[in-house]
Amino acid sequence: MRFRITLLAACLALLIPTAAFGQRAASHVLKAEVVLTIQGEVPTPRKLTFDDLAKLPRRSVQTKEPDGSTVVYEGVELAEVLKLAGVTFGEDLKGVRLSTFLLVSAADGLSVVFALPELDSSYTERLIILADRRDGKPLPASEVPLRVIVPDEKRKSRWVKQVTTLSINKGVSTMPKKVKTR
């Protein structure tokens, strides 16, 4: 009996610090791990970790489920993330740049298109975010590490789950010539 208790105590003594260290190590690895790649026609392609994203302002949006209940998603503004790779908005977003587009890709292979003005607060009040929390909790496993939230978009087809990559693609526009008049 005594031996068993000693053995149990020894096991616990060994396990507790190991578990605590494991947890610390795991959360550290998660924060330093690349969660998002920004590539394509951007001035500075980036590989971002959660630590990089944590430096951006937090934004939250309230969305409606089909049954009428509300869900609050929280994360960072998609345009702010693209700015980390040198993508510019506002006054700069006009002319030939209006034919460039963002492709958001997910771990399961889904890729979805957004036009840049859809993300730009100088064009629209709608705030499209890359969320990492839902109703104050981490995203469900089916949506991690990041999900695009498009408030008020009635169909959720572009609410991409498990986002891995943002790529900016060149459009086909050339500088517009003067329209001919007679």
Which residues of the chain form contacts with Mo ion (CB under 5 A)?
157
Question: Token pair 């630590």 is at which residue?
Answer: 51
Let me know: does 78 contact 130? Beta carbons within 8 Å.
yes
Name residues whose C-beta falls within 8 Å of residue 156's C-beta, 6 or more positions apart in sequence.
Answer: 150
* CB of 31 or CB of 156, closer to Mo ion: 156
Let me know: does 169 contact 154? Beta carbons within 8 Å.
no
Radius of gyration of the chain (CA): 22
Residue 51: contacted member of ligand MTE, Mo ion, none (CB under 5 to 8 Å, by partner type): none
Residue 39: contacted member of Mo ion, ligand MTE, none (CB under 5 to 8 Å, by partner type): none
Pairing outcome for strands 163-169 and 34-40: parallel
Q: What tokens appear for 139 in the block?
A: 């995203």
Closest approach of Mo ion to the CB of residue 53, in Å: 26
Of 157, 169, 170, 173, the one binding ligand MTE by CB under 6 A: 157
* CB of 93 or CB of 118, closer to ligand MTE: 118
SS3 content of the chain, % helix, strand, coil (to 5): 30, 30, 40
Of 115, 156, 164, 171, the one binding ligand MTE by CB under 6 A: 156
Of 48, 104, 161, 166, the one binding ligand MTE by CB under 6 A: 161
* CB of 88 or CB of 162, closer to ligand MTE: 162
Q: For residue 73, state whether it binds ligand MTE (rule: CB under 6 A).
A: no
Helix (H, G, I), strand (E, B) or coil at 64: strand
User: Residues in the site for ligand MTE, rule: CB under 6 A?
Assistant: 106, 108, 110, 156-157, 159-162
